[in-house]
Amino acid sequence: MARRGAPGLVVPASRGLRVAVAVTRWHTDIVDTMLDRALSALREAQVQQPTVAKVPGALELPLMCQHLAKHHDAVVALGVIMRGDTPVFDHICATVSSGLLRVSLDESTPVGNGVLKVEDETQAWARSGSSESIADRGHEAVVAALYTAHALHDCAPPTLTG
């Protein structure tokens, strides 16, 4: 995995932001590790009481994220899509990714995409944020969503009064 050019982002202080995390029920051992890392990043950011919503699988993530985006400043999607024996892997990856992007654009709410698209469990664990991992996608998805939420807030037009 290429890390060259990756931004050196720290967890931004985000007290007062409302954040939700949507997670899948597939590959729960890996996803639970990613959720723990995401929640750790939210604690570090001083986000109070993040919402956690579980869905059956990756295809349900965009709808849940759209629902959560209506009442939160940022949303994070976590899951694992692993290539199987049938040819649906590419379709599911594309559908979930485009669905999450659409939610972000339609709702004007950042959606941190922490959905792993991998060949096997080894690749998933390598990106899960476990102590042996080379990447921490749950943590990174939270940081990306928080940075974007702050950027949107800072660029928001002034509120009109009177």
Half-sphere exposure (Cβ direction) of 125: Cα atoms closer than 13 Å:
6
Q: Is 51 annotated to bind ligand?
A: no
Q: Is 80 annotated to bind ligand?
A: yes
Q: Is 120 annotated to bind ligand?
A: no
Q: Is 35 annotated to bind ligand?
A: no
> Quick check: 41 and 64 in contact, CB under 8 A?
no
Q: Is 58 annotated to bind ligand?
A: yes
Q: Is 86 annotated to bind ligand?
A: yes
Q: Is 26 annotated to bind ligand?
A: yes
Q: Is 81 annotated to bind ligand?
A: yes
Q: Is 88 annotated to bind ligand?
A: no
Residues 6+ apart with CB under 8 A from 32: none
Half-sphere exposure (Cβ direction) of 77: Cα atoms closer than 13 Å:
33
How many CB atoms lie under 10 A from the CB of residue 109?
A: 23
Residues that constitute the known binding site for (2S)-2-hydroxy-3-oxobutyl phosphate: 85-86, 127
Residues that constitute the known binding site: 26, 58-60, 80-82, 85-86, 113, 127
Residues that constitute the known binding site for 5-amino-6-(D-ribitylamino)uracil: 26, 58-60, 80-82, 113
